[in-house]
Structure 1
Amino acid sequence: MPASPADPLRASRPGRPFGAPEIRVRTGREGCEHRGMDHVLERLLVRHTLRLPVPPGPAGDGSAVALRFDAALRTAGFALSSPLLRELSGRSPETVVELARWALEAVRERVGDHVRHNTYFLDFPANVPDTGEFWLWCVLKGLEDPAARESVEAQLSAGVLNLLTLPAYGRYPHSYEELLAAHEELVPAAGDRLTVLHLGGPVGEELGALYGALAGSVTPLGDEHLADLAVLAEHCADGPQPAEIPVREIRAVVNRARLRAGAAPLLDTVTDVLRLACALADGDVTLRERTRFRGLSRPVRRALLAGLDGVVAGAPEKLADVGRHREAWKRLGERLHPHAYPAWPHAAQVFAVARGELRAPSLDSLTEALLAAGDVPGAAELLASAAPGRLFRGLDRLLRSAADEAGREAVLAAAERVAPRVAGRVVLSVREHLQNRHIGPGAPRRLFVNRQGRAWVTADTRRALPREVQRRLLALVDGETRRRLPAPGRLLVDPLMLDVALPLSGRASSGGFGVLPRGSVAPVDGELLRFFMYWKEARRTTDLDLSALLLDERYATVSWLSYTELTTVEGRHSGDITEAPDGASEFIELRLGAVRGTFVVPHVHVYAGEGFDETAESFFGYMLREGEQGGRPFEPRTVRMRSELRGPGRVAMPLAFRRDEEGRWHAHWLHLCLRGTPTDNRVEDHRVSLATLLRGAVEHAPVTVRHLVELMRESGSEVTEWSGGEPPAGPVTYLGLARPEGLAPGSRVVTPENLRDLVPA
């Protein structure tokens, strides 16, 4: 039901944007402290940790309000943990009400319940017409409309009809309130989702811990996490810092905050300075997209030039990195004016290299020269001494380029020697590469996914590596990973966590709720599968279309659901909406038992207008229901996943569903996008491309939690699979999809929210 303004636990109010001026911050050794009316940082904590920090306040009897708070949370599929409910019951009612206001908004936004989800067909999923019947009805309505009759008659005479010109097509024919009145309350079911919110510690400590975890991550962060880190860094820049910040783009975000706080940036390569300059310009710190540098203040210019000078003076060989981003350095030089600062002559050398006035051969050019000369051992030694990570990433090519067994042995020996100096995520990336390396008969394919999620599949034409070489490399990377993994003592594992892929790249996932990294597999338990998509245009009319493609075991098309096929195999589409100035939603429901085929592939097309990155908001998700639950088209407590729709492509593939040989369904997370066409993207035009990408993704084996668990078991850890019930006594390391209640103090918990912590450094 809609929120009632009279009820403080159900009323909603818009929050301020991140960085609002009402936030006042001071940092200290205990963490990050703040006060502010919009609770930006508390929302951020809930989003990342599902922990609710209770603010200090007077004691009192807040039990009645706390129970109302818990009841309101349950309508969105959330609940207070027992310790959190007890804590709130002992606080004043005013304290509980103020916390409940922002916390309810925060959790509803996580599952997509912060917007109004209307449907074109009022009774959806009931009474959805056949596509042809519906289009005919729209034509008749157009002929009845004096303003549209002449246009419709002309189009009918010409034999071509544009649906968008029909007044009854593409716009809601009823209000959201009328939709709510047409649907009965949702019948509770045992399968409804219930996500528990846990009691957090003091806000300062929680913020400091989250900042340390994000800043010290050994894997790159996605866009949402990187943006949240930028907010945290502004408030924690002069507080305790991680012992190491290994990921360079993360370091750039932290350096921007440190520079603004008057602290020295952390720089040890010239590229660190370039990334920092991009961060200051709100550009791309990954350096893959062009950044437009703005005018810089004198203090900032001095800080950047001083940092460059210090790096080059300490290690002149680092000038070799300039050539990789020569054009960006030229543009930055126009803003820094290095010639005006003779006190830093080493900084001026960077721009001399960029302009070609000073020679500093890059590591890549030196390596390529050795390979061109047939000196594979020399190339391996050069990389081993200068960049062990690049050696590991190039192992396949080096081994294939070796002329004989002696050359391959030299490459393997170099890899074994430098393995301890290679980042853990690179070691695991090599593991993933090797376990997907084709060694048998057949027609192998290679799946490529760039940092923006754009994907393509091509034939694997590489020469096979000898089996013995592969076995030796697998032993090397597994041994190195095993050496770095902690000894967790007793390891408690939710079996559903075993097939979750490790997040070795920040682009392997997207922001949202219940989202798992690309390649993860999870069971789907429920009779009715309902997809939903919401978007709100920012500047121009935008039409996004939700579709679902049904494929057989050979990836051939069986059928689809879209605005051109509203009904099929007991599936229903909620109706096409063609504009969203105030936001719009589309839904598809399928009864899994009626699906013919092996795969269900939901996807979103940009038919016209703004791309995913341009919309004010756009997201996708799915719900699971029992057969007779009823309820509104969107019911938050049935939501299993909601992911942001972002990326440069015009077709988004968040995930797919696959039926196994025993008839059970599983979700496969994809996080892929296709380039598509500028306009008029439809499922009919992309069936082959979607099927090709799906096959490449499904047949690609990621490194999963299961792999690390087996390595820890081999190292002597006691591993117990646990699906619930009474938790064991004593502290454990728990791996699961959600934090359980009742674990002993001192236990370590790893869930999808902090899965990156499981990747060894």
Structure 2
Amino acid sequence: MDHGLESLVIRHTHRLPRPSGPAGRGDVAARQFDAALLTVGFKLSAELLERLSRLDGESVLHTASRTLDTVRAMVGDHVRHNVCFIDFPANVPDTFDFWMQCIREALADDASRAGTLDQLRTGVVDLLTLPSYGTYRHTYAQMLAAHDELIAAAGDRITVLHAGGTGDEEATALYLALAGSSTPLGEEGLRDLGVLAGYCADGPQPEEIPVRENRAVVNRARLAAGADLLVDTVTDVLRLACALSDGDVTLTQPSRLRSMSRRVRRALLAVLDALVAAAPAQLADVAAHREAFKRLGERLHPHEYPRWPHAAEVFAVARGERRVPTLGGRVEELLGAGDAAGAARLLAAAAPGRLLRSLDRLLRACPDQDARDAVVAAAEGAAPQVSGRVLLSVREHFHNRTLRTRTQEAEAGAHAGAEAEEVQRRVFVNRLGRAWVTADTRAPVPAPEVERLIAALDAETRRRLPEPGHLLIDPEVLDVALPLSGKATAAGLGVLPRGSLSPVDGELLRFFVHWQQTRESTDYDLSALMLDASYATVCWLSYTALQAVGGEHSGDITDAPGPDGASEFINLRLDAVGGDFIVPQVNIYSGEGFEEAAESFFGFMLRDAEQQGRPFEPRTVRMKSELRGPGRVALPLVFLRGSDGRWRAKWTHVYLRGRPSANRVEGNRVTVGTLVRGIVEHDHLTVRYLAGLLADRAPATTWWDGTELPAGPVTYIGLERPEGLHPDSVVVTPENLRALIPR
């Protein structure tokens, strides 16, 4: 197995494929490998250590070199993280004093003196014109020499690498898991699926590929291998064309379709022709992506292939030369006529998933109880035909609608109606992670119908869950949100889905951001906003406020060329933080966006008060998350102080549009406060919910306390795979949490 595939397997599974090499006595090299891993917060499982010890030393060292490169990148230790202030977090200057120092240094420089004097005469000095501002004031080696070695602590992160099968076995298992996922994958997952699909094109294939985006990526590999395509809608063909052009298979963003070979054009046109010939109603799907189908027609040249006339009809519809009534249009006609029950019956027959996603609107449109009963009955009948993730998404939606209705009623009793309505907000997060807030003006959904729907959704979900056998659950995983979409989780280490809650056990909390520009000078600014219980601003840390109660900023870096880019840090003493919420954010001040930069990631570390060490210590990293969203302001997570005084993290993974340039924490704090309130107060569906349904079907359920493990096979659900599980056990951790979502 080549290094790229091996690295991919390690990242997704925390399993090291079985190394090849002659037998020998590699025990010394294996222990050295294990010791090196500990410096970056990883270790070998007992089984893997024993396996490596039976190889010759050279093979072990070769494996160690490759694996260390992979895990260092996973935790963010593949670059050298410098800081502006050499002693950070000690001796961080006052913001104004530091700015004045930069001005004095500019006046002492012959090249910059005149320009600085001119600015001083106007009363305004641009910091970016000062030679010593925004740059590292010392070398990386000098910074290292200024810091003592990290003192090991029991709370340091340890991520175990487990023994895997052969390279082919591990690649095939991961391919089947990703391709057959019941939920959409994120950007990294889709990219890795594409690599695995090409590698596994001639091997075992999943019985079903329920997610359309995954199917498009697999179809690209199948087309290259000459295998039959897995398509059943005309939109599947459009997604495949986007995949062939390295475009957006989710069809969220326009893709620039490339020219295609005659072989590919014939294959796509033949499939389109067969689909439309078998089901002319497929043409109704074209309207949803009319412009994209027009571009596809320009690439496929259907006029050159008269033997496939039905394929030509697709592009006639896209060009407006032929009109086809759409399902959406028929539904709107029925709703316009006041026939919500008829609209529900139509959707139940043609698009059951769309019916469930439209239930809120349909129920509010019902004129009477008979219509509401008919809508709910249609939903109950359609539920068995709907994907598991849609069932769970609708379940979460109506649970929160119930909570919101109760809040509205309580506030209406305590305030005037206008005031109560003003505080109600809806938070929207699209598939790209971009978030926005708007007033919630919807009427409540009647409680009896909500209760009936929730009961039906619970029953259908329970029916689909497998028999778990002996169920073993780590209680720490219960507040992890269900990954109903891979878009709700960023790629990285220790990252949990949007809405997850996890404890923060440590005295020092340190954020970091790292970026490397591709072409133009790029300035990202790490900030932390502190809010009170009413989500109002208390204070913040940023390049304009290097010190605040309980914290320090490492200083502003305004340029990030390769190979090491730039890094910024914020250090907080949690017992001294004012406020109830800490909101770290990354603002793009100038230059390339998160998706344009060569690299950009955020993370946080936890340390005990007596620990020293460098500003960046990989052993203390709890989370490292890629920043690849569409906005100019990133909000990866929020820290909440509970009534018991303990802090917890709530994962957000959202981006604000922001301004084209000069985004600062001061300018978006009101918007951020409103958004944080909406996210914090939204009750996400978590592992706790599915674990409860699974426990109903399990002959035995054990809450694992980290000590003795059952002797036989179990279904284990936890944050990390424990050593010593029976080899036939089913293991679910955050790396494959999507396996919990029923089909």
TM-score (norm 1): 0.94
| Distance in 1 between residues matched to 2:431 and 2:445, nearest whole Å | 27
Question: Secondary structure at the residue paired with 2:156?
Answer: coil
Residue 457 (structure 2) pairs with residue 470 (structure 1): no
Q: Quick one: distance in 1 between partners of 2:134 and 2:152?
A: 33
Distance 2:487 2:18 in 1: 33
Match in the other structure for 1:730 = 712
CA distance in 2: counterparts of 1:530 and 1:87, whole angstroms: 37
Structure 2 residue 492 is matched with structure 1 residue 528 = no
1:243 aligned residue (207, 232, 247): 207
Residue matched to 1:271:
235
Bigger drift between 347-356 and 118-127 goes to 347-356
1:143 corresponds to which residue? 107
Which position in structure 2 is the counterpart of 1:187?
A: 151
> For residue 503 of structure 1, what is the aligned residue in structure 2?
483
Within 5 Å, which residues of 2 pair with 1:664-683? Answer: 664-683=646-665
Matches of 1:725 and 1:382, distance apart in 2: 55
1:561 alignment partner in structure 2: 541
Post-superposition offset of 1:468: 0.5
Aligned counterparts, 1:309-458, within 5 A: 309-437=273-401, 438-440=404-406, 441=409, 442=411, 443-458=423-438
Corresponding residue for 1:67? 31
Which aligned runs of 4 or more in structure 1 are off by greater than 4 angstroms? none
1:367 deviates by 1.0
Determine the C-alpha separation between the residues in 2 that align with 1:678 and 1:354.
34
- Displacement after TM superposition at 1:238 (Å): 2.3
Alignment equivalent of 1:640, drawn from 615, 618, 622 = 622
Matched, 1:625 2:607: yes
Counterpart of 1:210, as a letter, is L
Residue 208 of structure 1 corresponds to 172
Cα-to-partner distance string for 1:488-521 (whole Å, 9 max, x where unaligned): 1211111110000001012101001000000000
Structure 2 match to 1:31: none
1:179 shift after superposition: 0.9
Out of 576, 594, 602, the position equivalent to 1:594 is: 576
**In structure 2, distance between residues paired with 1:386 and 1:64:** 65
Distance 1:406 1:719 in 2: 43
Equivalent-residue separation in structure 2 for 1:717 and 1:115 (angstroms):
50
How far apart in 1 are the matches of 2:627 and 2:349? 42
Letter of the 1:693 partner, please give it: L
Q: Where does residue 479 of structure 1 map in the other structure?
A: 459
Provide the secondary structure at the position in 2 that maps to 1:600.
strand
In structure 2, which of residues 492, 498, 509 is the aligned counterpart of residue 518 of structure 1? 498
1:227 aligned partner: 191
Gaps of 5+ in 1: 1-34
- In 2, distance between residues paired with 1:258 and 1:479? 38
The answer to whether the Cα contact below 8 Å between 2:470 and 2:698 also exists between their aligned partners in 1 is no
Using the TM superposition, give the Cα deviation of residue 716 of structure 1 relative to its aligned residue in structure 2, in angstroms.
Answer: 4.7
Q: 2:418 maps to which residue?
A: none
Report the equivalent of 1:89: 53
Residue 413 of structure 1 aligns to a residue in which SS? helix
CA contact (8 A) 2:134 2:558 kept: yes
Task: Supply the AA of the counterpart residue of 1:432.
Answer: E
Preserved contact between residue 419 and residue 480 of structure 1 (Cα < 8 Å): yes
| 8 A contact 2:490–2:625 mirrored in 1 | yes
- In structure 2, distance between residues paired with 1:399 and 1:570: 50
Instruction: Please tell me whether the aligned partners of residues 528 and 627 of structure 1 are also in contact (alpha carbons under 8 angstroms).
Output: yes
CA distance in 1: counterparts of 2:48 and 2:523, whole angstroms: 43
Do structure 1's residue 174 and structure 2's residue 138 form an aligned pair?
Answer: yes
Of residues 3, 12, 33, the one that matches 1:48 is 12
Partner residue in 2 for 1:545: 525
Aligned partner (choices 113, 117, 127) of residue 81 of structure 2: 117
Q: Secondary structure at the match of 1:250?
A: helix
Matches of 1:112 and 1:568 in 2, distance apart?
Answer: 27
Map of 1:294 onto structure 2:
258
Alpha-carbon deviations, 1:572-594, whole Å to 9, x = none?
11110000113000000000000
Matched AA of 1:241:
Q
One-letter amino acid matched to 1:571: G
State which drifts further: 667-676 or 351-360: 351-360
Give the match for residue 687 of structure 2.
Answer: 705
Q: Does 1:759 align with 2:741?
A: yes
- In 1, the alpha carbon distance for the partners of 2:699 and 2:721 equals 21
1:723 Cα deviation from its structure 2 partner: 2.8
Report the 3-state secondary structure (helix = DSSP H, G, I; strand = E; otherwise coil) of the residue aligned with 1:170: coil
Displacement, 1:711? 1.4
Residue 717 of structure 1, CA deviation = 4.5
3-state SS, counterpart of residue 491 of structure 1: strand
Q: CA separation of 1:70/1:716 partners in 2, compared to 1, >3 Å: closer, same or farther? A: closer
- Whether 1:493 and 2:473 are equivalent positions in the alignment is yes
Q: Residue by residue, what CA displacement relative to the aligned partner does 1:690-742 show, whole Å, maximum 9, x if unpaired?
A: 11110000000111000011112234553222130121221111111111101
Say how many residue pairs are matched: 725
Give the counterpart letter for 1:439 in structure 2: T
| 1:127 paired residue number | 91
Task: Tell me, in whole angstroms, the C-alpha distance in 2 between the residues paired with 1:378 and 1:358.
Answer: 27
Match of 2:696 among 704, 710, 714: 714
Q: Secondary structure at 1:708's aligned position in 2?
A: helix
Q: CA RMSD in A?
A: 0.9
Equivalent-residue separation in structure 2 for 1:376 and 1:334 (angstroms): 40
* Residue in 1 that maps onto 2:631: 649
Query: 1:249 offset after TM fit, Å?
Result: 0.7
- SS of 1:549's partner is strand
Q: Is the 8 Å Cα contact of residues 238 and 263 (structure 1) preserved in structure 2? A: no
Match of 2:420 in 1: none
Q: Which SS does the other structure have where 2:175 is aligned? A: helix
Q: Which residue of 2 aligns with 1:23?
A: none
1:254 matched residue in structure 2: 218
Query: Identity percentage over the alignment?
Result: 65
Q: Please give the TM-score of this superposition, normalised by the length of structure 2.
A: 0.97
Q: Conserved in 1, the CA contact under 8 Å of 2:468 and 2:697?
A: no
2:389 and 2:119 map into 1 onto residues whose CA distance is 59
How far the C-alpha of 1:203 sits from its partner, in A, is 0.9
Q: Deviations over 1:607-626 (max 9, x none)?
A: 00101111000000000001
1:123 CA drift (Å): 0.6
The separation in 1 between residues aligned to 2:696 and 2:45, in whole angstroms, is 35
Match of 2:560 in 1: 580
CA contact (8 A) 2:6 2:167 kept: yes
Superposed CA offset, 1:404-458 (max 9, x none): 1111111111111111100000000001100110222234321110011111122
**Contact 1:439–1:467 (Cα < 8 Å) also in 2:** no
Instruction: Write the distance in 1 (CA, Å) between the matches of 2:715 and 2:733.
Output: 11
Deviation at 1:570, TM superposition (A): 2.8
1:54 & 1:745 partners in 2: Cα distance?
16
Q: Which runs of 5+ in 2 are unaligned?
A: 412-422
Partner of 2:587: 605
636-645 or 726-735, larger mean C-alpha shift: 726-735
- Paired with 1:312 and 1:632, the residues of 2 have a C-alpha distance of 63
User: 1: CA distance between counterparts of 2:535 and 2:660?
Assistant: 26
